[in-house]
Structure 1
Amino acid sequence: MYLRKLQRFLAAMAAVAMLAACSDDDDNARLTLEGTTLFVEGWGVTATMHFTSADLRSISLNSVPKGWTIEADLPTGTLTATSPAEADREQSDRSGTVSVIGYTMSGKSIIHKLQVGVVSKEDLVSRQANCMVLTSPYTVYAFDPTLRGESGEKLATAEVRIVWQTAKELVRELRFDGTTATFYIDGEKDDVVPGNALLGAYDRSGKLLTTWHLWMTSAADYGEQTYAGGRTFLTLNLGAARNANATPGEVLGSFGCFYQWGRKEPFVGPAAYDAADGADAKMYDANGETLYLTHEASSPETGTAEYAAAHPTTYILGTEASGYDWLHTPAAEPLWSGERKTANDPCPKGWRMPSERDFEALRIVDAAAGKESQYGWYLTDGTATAYYPGAGFRTYLTGVVQNMYNPVSGVEVPRPWTGDYWTAGTQGRLSSAFVFWFDAADPARSGTTPSEWRRRADGMQIRCVRE
């Protein structure tokens, strides 16, 4: 009897010791992947990634995308991914996310998400500018962040960061090797995920040196039209996802970014197509945390081109002392020009700000047939016809998006809408805008003004013209 009790006691102690040992092993267990993505450049192609681990008894993969072969070898610390064969691409997933699961000695799990995908590579150096248009999905893009805009001026860039983006993980895998920056743009249904982002170059002290606007839009929407006067315009607003107005979502997507006159840094538009409450569209940082625009009144300290460039998420409000310009003291040289491309021009390579003359011939196709729900007009010069959304503007006093019309009667209402497009024209402290409005009481009285002098601290839309 005593012997059996002793045997049971020793077995229990052994079990406790084993559990304690497993617990110690769990405390030291780890699984670390070399990265969060494993890309291949083609169909039927294999790529590998290394990982490190400790005190794991096994490793497995879950939710493997259709058509992919993915294996993990624990002894060698190697992940191997083979993309679907070319013949199977129509029945397979081009990209997807797999769960890499390591099991501890006690059976607990450590899980990492790994994206795999068939990607292309695209070099942006030949079209590097303050704004770079990205129309290719599933692509790793490269550019030179040691150069400012299109000037070729060298920068002491030590780091490249995401300043803001309009969706979480819109820009992925941003890396800088001291010479070249690369980043990945995903796709949906074989089209680019639309949106906007701002990248910043920083020196070793953390000072922001310059920024680049990344504009993701569908290749089907990104086009050009030549008007009767010979001027060629983009077919959509700078920063727009599309150029359509069949649904509220399409209307909102057609708005694009907003700009204070003379600044190259874009601002997001309203959260709703009718700008009902003045709320801004969402912005996120590199970690997916929500960002918000800040507002500063123009002063000798804040109302400078240097301060604006260093604070790209700050909307600088006009004051009486600044003449309701965001600049407190006028710039010595024009920040924008309708004759040549300036260092602050926000348009992509090969495009520039329009002059105040470029919109002169545009007229509403049929004002009497206008309706509130289309939130814009089809405008024509007799040769080309294009949809121009009425997105309203950010007011120079508060920086809030408002969408109102002000016809001859002087009546102002929060809705329907007005279209406000910057040109490069200047007159003292004012700059020229192409403006149109919808008259709810009598659509036939709606109209256009090719050149209206506005406060430069306003934020408006831009439709770029070919250089």
Structure 2
Amino acid sequence: MTLTVTGEKGQNNPSSNCFVVKPDGFLSFEPYYRVETGGGYNFADYLNPHDENLKIARVGIIWQTKDCIGDNTNGTLVQLGENTGDIHQKIYVKTQKKGNALIGAYNSKGDILWSWHIWVTDHEPDNLGRAVTYYTYDWDQNGIYPEKPRIQGYAVMSCNLGALAENQQGIGSGLHRYPDEMTQAFGMLYQWGRKDPFPPLRNIANEHQDYNDEHTDLHYDNSNQAEVHKTSATDENKLFHSVIGSALTGAVRHAIANPTVFICGTNEANRNES
């Protein structure tokens, strides 16, 4: 028997939309290699080591909660691995504190080619002992039978992406400010059909809440020093802003290249849309 022991950098993890990493942890993955297929698009049309426009030239932090990853100015905390000339080149990420970050891969022109949500937490949402059993209607080739008792289906991962506590129900009225127990249970916000999350609202005063700095955590750039700002309006001076969807062509590519921009269906971003 031959036993080969590899370090963390020797791991061969394929690309995914989100990675769960422990505080003071290390992540190694292959951005060009993706196991999942389908979804109406070809992954190689967006990331390809053999196409100069789709080849990763550098990586960095698009946004992060304070000290989630840290100061990546010198490129040592989010790092592009040695060029292997094929799909098995790697990206390495070192984490610090509980929180969330979005890291991006850029081509030589500075365009975002792809991005990944890094969820830093010390709890284990994939623990089989915490799986939630899904119960569904009985069914067969002839149809669905809603009048019958539900039957046991798959056990699914108990998960609220980006949450900083395992309590997903929350407590109190909701009129609290992070980091109390209630608001830590909140996970990320998603726009339908998009892979990248938006940071959650924390200070909720009513059901129609403006998406701005006052109602969210503070978030920081690649340096972990400069704040990145949010607005519900179409203000391109802020990292998180809105655009009018009807004015867009190539919406999928636009969403990938602009992971912090909310696409609106009307001329005005309603508060409850963002």
TM-score (norm. length: structure 2): 0.63
Task: Give the C-alpha shift of residue 243 in structure 1.
Answer: 2.8
Quick one: structure 1 residues 125 and 195, their matched pair in 2 at CA, closer, same or farther if it must change by over 3 Å? farther
CA contact (8 A) 2:13 2:30 kept: no
- Aligned ranges 1:120-199 → 2 under 5 Å: 121=8, 125-126=12-13, 128-134=15-21, 136-147=22-33, 150-151=36-37, 153=44, 154-155=47-48, 156-168=55-67, 170-171=69-70, 173-177=77-81, 178=83, 179-186=89-96, 193-199=97-103
2:64 & 2:270 partners in 1: Cα distance? 19
- Aligned ranges 1:23-422 → 2 under 5 Å: 121=8, 125-126=12-13, 128-134=15-21, 136-147=22-33, 150-151=36-37, 153=44, 154-155=47-48, 156-168=55-67, 170-171=69-70, 173-177=77-81, 178=83, 179-186=89-96, 193-220=97-124, 223=127, 224-228=131-135, 229-244=152-167, 245-246=170-171, 248=176, 249-274=180-205, 278=210, 279-287=215-223, 288-292=225-229, 293-301=240-248, 304-319=251-266, 398=269, 400=271, 402=272
CA contact (8 A) 2:134 2:155 kept: yes
Task: Give the C-alpha shift of residue 176 in structure 1.
Answer: 1.3
Q: Which amino acid in structure 2 is aligned with residue 185 of structure 1? A: T
Quick one: structure 1 residues 148 and 284, their matched pair in 2 at CA, closer, same or farther if it must change by over 3 Å? farther
Residues 334-363 of structure 1, C-alpha deviations (whole Å, 9 max, x = no match): xxxxxxxxxxxxxxxxxxxxxxxxxxxxxx
More strand by share: 1
Task: Give the C-alpha shift of residue 236 in structure 1.
Answer: 2.9
Query: Would you say how many aligned residue pairs link Structure 1 and Structure 2?
Result: 201
Task: Give the C-alpha shift of residue 161 in structure 1.
Answer: 1.3
Quick one: structure 1 residues 275 and 238, their matched pair in 2 at CA, closer, same or farther if it must change by over 3 Å? farther
Runs of 4+ in 1 over 6 A off after TM superposition: none
Q: Which amino acid in structure 2 is aligned with residue 194 of structure 1? A: K
2:157 & 2:182 partners in 1: Cα distance? 17
Task: Give the C-alpha shift of residue 139 in structure 1.
Answer: 2.2
Residues 116-174 of structure 1, C-alpha deviations (whole Å, 9 max, x = no match): xxxx837664353111111x332222112334684573521111111111224535522
Quick one: structure 1 residues 122 and 219, their matched pair in 2 at CA, closer, same or farther if it must change by over 3 Å? farther
CA contact (8 A) 1:213 1:266 kept: yes
CA contact (8 A) 1:130 1:150 kept: no
Q: Which has the higher contact order (CA 8 A, sep 6+)?
A: 2
Q: What is the CA RMSD across the aligned residues, in angstroms?
A: 2.9
Look up the SS of the partner of 1:126 in the other structure. Answer: coil
Look up the SS of the partner of 1:252 in the other structure. Answer: helix
Q: Which blocks of at least 5 consecutive residues in structure 1 are unaligned?
A: 1-119, 187-192, 321-396, 403-457, 460-467
CA contact (8 A) 1:225 1:235 kept: yes
Q: Which blocks of at least 5 consecutive residues in structure 2 are unaligned?
A: 1-6, 38-42, 49-54, 84-88, 136-151, 230-239
Task: Give the C-alpha shift of residue 300 in structure 1.
Answer: 3.4
Residues 44-84 of structure 1, C-alpha deviations (whole Å, 9 max, x = no match): xxxxxxxxxxxxxxxxxxxxxxxxxxxxxxxxxxxxxxxxx
TM-score (norm. length: structure 1): 0.39
1:202 & 1:132 partners in 2: Cα distance? 19
2:270 & 2:221 partners in 1: Cα distance? 21
Task: Give the C-alpha shift of residue 237 in structure 1.
Answer: 1.2
Identity of aligned pairs, percent? 28
Deviates more, 1:153-162 or 1:167-176: 167-176
Quick one: structure 1 residues 170 and 230, their matched pair in 2 at CA, closer, same or farther if it must change by over 3 Å? same
1:185 & 1:225 partners in 2: Cα distance? 28
Task: Give the C-alpha shift of residue 257 in structure 1.
Answer: 0.6
- Aligned ranges 1:419-434 → 2 under 5 Å: none
Look up the SS of the partner of 1:132 in the other structure. Answer: strand
CA contact (8 A) 2:242 2:264 kept: yes
2:92 & 2:30 partners in 1: Cα distance? 9
Look up the SS of the partner of 1:319 in the other structure. Answer: coil
